[in-house]
Every structure is written in C-alpha cells, then in structure tokens.
Structure 1
Amino acid sequence: MTNSAASNVSSSAASASSSYAEAGVDTAAGDLAVELMKSAVSATHTTNVMGGVGGFAGLFDVSFLKSFDRPLLATSTDGVGTKVAIAQALDKHDTIGQDLVGMVVDDIVVVGAKPLFMTDYIACGKVVPSRIADIVAGIARGCSATGTALVGGETAEHPGLLGPDDYDVAGAAVGAVESGSQLGPHLVEEGDVVLALESSGLHSNGFSLVRHILRSADLGYSDSNADLGGVIGEVLLEPTRLYTSPLLAVLDEPSLQGSVHALSHVTGGGIAANLARVLPVGSWTEVDRGSWSPAPVFRVLSDIAGSTLESSEGTWNLGIGMIAVVARDSAAAMTAHLEASGIRTWQVGAVSVGIRDLSGFEQGAKGVDGGAVRLVGAYAG
C-alpha cells in the first residue's frame, strides 16, 4: 500500500517539509493514516500477495495462471460518484469503501472472471487519519467478501483544490478467466430466462438526482422520514450489495456448468440499457415491471420529486442490482442457489429472437451494439 503523496516527501529535508506543511500538506497525518489502515489491508492478503503494506507497487504472484490454457485478464475501474457527499455530510465513512468495491469488482465477474487484486485512490483536501482509515477499512471488508486482495493504493492531499472535509474515491481491479469460459452475448440463446438479483437500495448511481430532489424539497440528510424508516442520509448510505462471491459459486457449481450465459451489472443507465449491452444483436426482451415492487427508498424519492418510478428508470436500479441471462432449464436451480446465499432472485423476462417493432426499446448502450430491451407493465404495489 503506497502512502499519501505527502508521505513520499523525505523527512530529512526539514526546510522543504516545513514549506509543504505551510502549503497545507500534513506528512505526519499521511503516515498515521497508513498505520491505521495496515491491519485492514493486510487481512485481504493471501499467499499470492508478495510483500506487505508500504511498497511503491503491489506485487501479486500469478504463477497459478500457468494452469490455464489461455488466461485472459479482466480489468475494471470506477468510483462511487456523488454518494461521497452524503458520507461527508453525516461524517460517516465506513460504508463508502464497500460501494467502491461493488462498483469495481462486480464488473469483473460480469465476464465470468474471478477477481484477483484491487488498488484504490483517495483524494482529499486534508488527511484526517481516522477518516481515511474508515474508508480503507470499508474497501478492505468489501475486498475480503469478494476474495480480492487489496494490494496498493494512494491517498493524496490536495489543499486549495478540495475543502478540508472533501474527498473522492476511485479504484481499479484485475481478474482472470479462461479463454472460452467468458460470459457474454455470444452465449445468449432464444428462450433464455432473464433473472433479476435484488439490490440493497440505490447502490452508487443516481445520487446527483437524489441530492437535487432533497435540495429542492429543502430536506437535509439528518432529517428523519417515517416512510423511509429512519434518518434520510443513513438510508441513502446503505452500502452496495456485493454479488461476486455468490455468482462465482454458481459458476463453479457442477450442476450449473455452462448454464449462465451473460451477466449485467445494473449501474449508470438503469435496467434496460445495461441489459441491452449483454444481449446479442437481433434479440430482444421485455422486462415485466409487475414482477417486483421497488423498495421504499425509490418510491419515497419519486413521491418527494412529484414524479413517477418510470421516469427514473434510466437513472436508478429500482431494486435490481444484477441481471443473469441463463438457460431456461437451469433457471430454477440458479434461483435456488442465489436465494440460499441471501440474494432474492426472480424471473423478469425471457430472450426472444426475430423481427418485431422495436419502438420504445433500448437498443445497445455505451457504444455497444447489442440487443433491445424495454420495461413493460406497472410495478407491483
């Protein structure tokens, strides 16, 4: 784990250090932050991690890839967006790290890859050691839950650019999958079942809209809301559900080998756009809104805004955090496996192939020329 930019300054250069302190960079605070996070980071390390915390680069032994016929590396990078503003407002920083892992590592499993290691980056206006330690502890817990080693990171102090209590977080991860075992549109067939995996809430997307709604209604994060069942900010900080380990278990289950054809992580863009990315050109599906009831957080925010749930479908996940496209004869077994791991799972549609009027469908997204998806019906009450 590399130290903060401040910590990389030589302590022997007394005059330079003094000037750095006058500029607002606290090297001692950076060093203390590293000390506070060391145990949490080390807990994610397996025998594959070479060296410990504090190196310039993290080292990971990948000699096990020799057993692969043709190993493919998968990589992903992301942040958690403006959800950090709520953590900062409540001075609660121990969950935002799990959000980061969810946004990064759960993209790795989408292609069928097993995550190997992750690095993080925290930029802040002022290094507050306990705050940084809380953030990294959350990242480490998420990494442990997904079988990912946290091998490095950077905490950079940016006085004058960010306020003393401001920070942002980002991360990147690497995974591996055997060539020929990767999931994607090339495996999807007509008749495949589309399964929804329940989200834990908003996850880490659409918070600019959330903040706009609350600001327009003159509501604060510390205010209580009976319909939400608690303090608004605390409900909004519910951490992102992690799907990697349960999905890897399904992929490794002998009775389900080859039955999972595609996965879609429902992040920015909503359900239809993200599902369309993993369907083949020429295919289409209709997602039945009546198959689930979005959680109160979505309904309450929509009510406060005076809008409908349908109007936020391109922004929020509305209760579906991950989608699996699976062979029809394996859908029930996969549902049972995921439910046993604590993830509510249900069928929302099926894949069709053929010519039809695609008016109102999302067709591909984010540069991917994929299938077509639209949501139909009314949400269950």
Structure 2
Amino acid sequence: MLSKETNKGLTYADAGVDIDAGNKAVELMKDSVKATYRPEVLGDLGGFGGLFSLMNSNLKKPVLVSGTDGVGTKLRLAIMMGKHDTVGQDCVAMSINDVLVQGAEPLFFLDYIAVGKLDPIQVASIVKGVADACRESGCALLGGETAEMAGFYAKGDYDLAGFGVGIVDRDHVITGETIQSGDVLIGLPSTGVHSNGFSLVRKIVFERKEMALDQYVDELGMTIGECLLTPTRLYPKPCLPVIRKFDVKGMVHITGGGFYENIPRILPKGIGVEVDITAWPQLPIFGLLQQWGNVDKKEMYRTFNMGIGMIMVVAPEDADAVMQNLSARGEKAYVIGRAAASDVPVTLQGGAFDD
C-alpha cells in the first residue's frame, strides 16, 4: 500500500528547484543589470535573448571579437569566506581583458551562474559584482543564466563563467605580427594573483601552511583571504585610449601560464622578448607564496602574473609618449623589456635569473 507521502503530487520545488527564489533573484539584480545598458541595447531584461544594435558603429570594417572564461577555483575561497561581491569582477575581467588584447572595445557581456540551492541574496550579490565590472569596462550586461542544479552542486556551492563580445575595425586588429627587434614592452600592474594559479595557491596556503583565511599577515597588511580574493584588474579603461591613439603592435593578458605561455602567443617567428623582472615592484603575496611553497622561480613566472597583468608592445619611438599618456591619466606603467631576434620566446633577466 502506498503511503500518503508516496501518493503526494510532486512539484519542481520538491526536486530541489525553487522557481519563486529564481524570480526573486531576478528582481534583486534588475537594477544592477539595467545600470550597465549602453544606447545600443534593445529591449529589456527577461527576454529569451539579448539584443544589441551595431547600427551606430562608425567602423568601416567592423569585426566582432569574443571571449569566454570562468573564475576557476578562486570561487572556493569566496564560498569559504561567504563573500560573493568580488568574484563577478573576476568573471568579467577574464573574458573582457582577452577581448581587449585584440584591440576591441568591449560591447556586452553575459554571465552563467550554476548553484546547488538558489539563494537570491547570494546570486544578486554575485551579479552586482558582474554589473559593476561591466560598467567600469564600458560594456552592457546583456543577459545571463542562473541554473539551480539540485543534487549536482552542494548547498552553498556555485560556479561562475561568462562570455564577452567587443568590436574593432578589421584594419586595426592587434595581432602581434608586426613586432620586431627593438620594440618595447610596457607592463601594467596587476592587483594580485587575479584568477589563475589558485590550485597551487590553495595547496600552499591550506595544505602546506595550514592557514585560515582570516589569518592576518603583516607583510600583506590584511588577512590572507582578503588578499587572495582581491578581484582581477579590468584593463579597458587604461588601455583603450592608448590603443586608439598609438600603433600598439601586440598585447598580452597575463593569465594561466604566466609569462612563459602567454607572451609567445603574439610573437612572430624568430622574435623573442627579454624581460627585466626588476623593472616593477613585486607584490608581497608572490614572494610569500614562493617562500611558503618553496616554489622554483621559473615555476612562479609560468604560473602567476607576478605583478604584471597586461603587456603592450610598441615601437621604441612611441614608448615615451605611451608612458606619458598613461601617467597623465594616473595609470602606473613600467618599461619591462624589449623584443629581440631570438629562437627563445621568453628570456627573464634580473634577480635569480642572472645567477
């Protein structure tokens, strides 16, 4: 005989998916999303697709540039700390910075959040971080998806990824193919570890050092959790004025793979770069991670950004003017190296690399 519980008609909520909570989350995030809209956005939040007009583009041969990425295991720290308002910027930065290096102005962004149990306040906090980063980057948060996946993610866990689109004139796409010996590398500082290398970070901090995220570290001037959760820097605002005014030959977003894997992606055959690692101040977190984990110097530079999140390559006759342009707008930048004829893509000099 079937029990009363067995006879009960099931609902989606019984299976772990709360449609009402989803609707509440949309209401909570609506103002943040609308605040990012550019004039090209058509329609309103809630459609099946986001609409964005290109009719106002004054480019002769417009090309759309797209990029997609996630935040990765940095999310584990946000979940452990119960702090969800910064990882949205990480999500935007990872895609939009990649679009930027092709010379593209960011147009719009879409996010994807997957949760085990939908908490409207938590999701709204994440989306507000996404929206704030979109506003700073000058792009619209055109839409997104929040998927409640009961039984797939543990309660409180979530994943976050996104997709960004930019636009550039075909004649001004930055490819790196014109880089030649003598060209100058200008580096823009990072805000910290950004969003790459966190599997190694977590192994060092939690397993090797057995640290708690709320442990204060004198060298950092904050807790280790606050330092590691510092969001990835957004580079459109400092870089777009340079791209529009000067012939930027190549750009590199220093993400997973550090210097050794990312710089070669833009170099023509027979051209390498020599990077002086003493040309910029090292952020304390990198020295601590190296010390705590006894990590080889080369491994550090092939895993982390080491304090430089974006590199622009320009002709030597443009280098001073580019540096002045950045400085006049309050942007820190460093001449960190030069291109040279070489079959070795990346040579690091200074410090331990001179031993």
Length-normalised TM-score, structure 2:
0.93
Are 1:299 and 1:309, in contact at CA under 8 Å, matched by a contact in 2? no
The Cα of 1:290 is off from its aligned counterpart by 1.9
The Cα of 1:190 is off from its aligned counterpart by 2.2
**Match for 1:25: what amino acid?**
V
The Cα of 1:348 is off from its aligned counterpart by 1.3
Q: Of 162, 179, 189, which residue of structure 2 is paired with 1:171?
A: 162
Are 2:114 and 2:147, in contact at CA under 8 Å, matched by a contact in 1? yes
Matched with 1:249 is 241
Matched with 1:351 is 339
Matched with 2:81 is 90
Length-normalised TM-score, structure 1:
0.87
The Cα of 1:292 is off from its aligned counterpart by 2.3
Matched with 1:232 is 224
CA–CA separation in structure 1 for the residues paired with 2:155 and 2:327: 43
The Cα of 1:73 is off from its aligned counterpart by 1.0
CA–CA separation in structure 2 for the residues paired with 1:133 and 1:171: 16
Are 1:294 and 1:379, in contact at CA under 8 Å, matched by a contact in 2? no
**Is residue 2:12 matched to residue 1:20?**
yes
Matched with 2:298 is 310
Matched with 2:104 is 113
**Is residue 2:78 matched to residue 1:59?**
no
Are 2:274 and 2:340, in contact at CA under 8 Å, matched by a contact in 1? no
Structure 2: state its 5+ residue gaps.
1-7
Instruction: Say which SS state the counterpart of residue 225 (structure 2) adopts.
Output: helix
The Cα of 1:187 is off from its aligned counterpart by 2.3
The Cα of 1:379 is off from its aligned counterpart by 6.6
Matched with 1:11 is none
Matches within 5 A, 1:2-41: 18-41=10-33
Output one character per residue of 1:171-220: Cα deviation in whole Å (capped at 9) or x when no partner. 00111111111111222122110111110100110011100111222112
Q: Of 42, 49, 58, which residue of structure 1 is paired with 2:41?
A: 49
* Worse overlay, 202-211 or 56-65: 56-65
CA–CA separation in structure 1 for the residues paired with 2:115 and 2:298: 36
Are 1:185 and 1:262, in contact at CA under 8 Å, matched by a contact in 2? yes
- Aligned CA RMSD, in angstroms, stands at 1.6
Are 1:84 and 1:168, in contact at CA under 8 Å, matched by a contact in 2? yes
| Percent of aligned pairs with the same amino acid | 43
Matched with 1:266 is 254
CA–CA separation in structure 2 for the residues paired with 1:122 and 1:93: 12
Matched with 1:143 is 134
Are 2:73 and 2:199, in contact at CA under 8 Å, matched by a contact in 1? yes
CA–CA separation in structure 2 for the residues paired with 1:61 and 1:161: 37
The Cα of 1:336 is off from its aligned counterpart by 2.2
Matched with 1:102 is 93
Matched with 1:3 is none
**Match for 2:339: what amino acid?**
V
Instruction: Say which SS state the counterpart of residue 171 (structure 2) adopts.
Output: coil
Total equivalences in the alignment: 345
**Is residue 2:210 matched to residue 1:222?**
no
* Worse overlay, 159-168 or 282-291: 282-291
Matches within 5 A, 1:190-205: 190-205=181-196
* Worse overlay, 300-309 or 265-274: 300-309
